Amino acid sequence: MTALAALVALGVVVYPTSWHISRGLITVAHEGGHALVALLTRRKLQGIRLHSDTSGVTLTRGRPTGPGMIFTAAAGYVAPSLLGLGAAWLAAAGYITLLLWTVLLLLACMLLMIRNLFGVVSLLTIGGAVFALTWLAKPDIQAIGAQLAAWFLLFGGIRPILELRRKRRQGRAPESDADQLARLTPFPGGFFVFLFLLVSAGALVVGAYLLTPWDLLGRLS
């Protein structure tokens, strides 16, 4: 089941049409990462907007420089992969119900800060699907859904970073998170793209290890 879930999630991320449809889920995690770290660093969270082109923006207020702004800007691109790693840990440990209710809680908190209609509809749709999985699906179906979600976040967290790298080389992302971080720190934007990729790749490796049924493989060998 794990291998099949991984292949399905990878196919969704790699195939252009399915990626265009599902990329908004990664945007939700991305903007949620900005919002969460902004609150943790005591910045004022003004709102979140999600757009139909799968882009988004999180507006915060506070010092324009300093650690709070740096951590907030750095959180977006690594958030999907780190959430995927957390989901992988919970799924591998068998805490499927806890995982699903945690997702619902995070979506509900995020919904309070959404400032546009498309964002509201998006979160209600995602939340409705998760709620239906929680209440209507059998435990084995819930487990499959949890693994699919974990693999999708782990794979899907990497592709936007590669897209960002390409856009920056073409000069089409002057206001990206990496470029904002370059203005806030002594390091160039390319350094942060590499850092995003390193964190996301590391999360994928660890998440894959957690989701692999080593005991079953040992018995088969």
Print burial letters for 160-193: b (CB count within 10 Å at least 16), e (below 16): bbeebbeebeeeebeebbbbbbbebeeeebeebb
**Residue pLDDT, tens place only, 159-183:** 999 999 999 999 988 899 999 999 9
**pLDDT at residue 62 greater than cutoff 70:** yes
Q: Which two tokens stand for residue 172?
A: 């089409």
What pLDDT was estimated at residue 111?
98
Residue 221 — very low, low, confident or very high, per pLDDT cuts 50/70/90? Answer: low
pTM tops 0.85, yes or no: yes
**Residue pLDDT, tens place only, 2-57:** 889 999 999 999 999 999 999 999 999 999 999 999 999 999 999 999 999 999 99
What pLDDT was estimated at residue 213?
83
In the predicted model, what is the mean pLDDT of residues 60-78? 97
Burial of 87 (0-12, 13-18, 19+ CB in 10 A): buried
Q: Indicate the angle between helix axes 117-136 and 16-40, nearest 10 degrees.
A: 100
Rounded (10°) CA dihedral 48, 128, 156, 60: 10
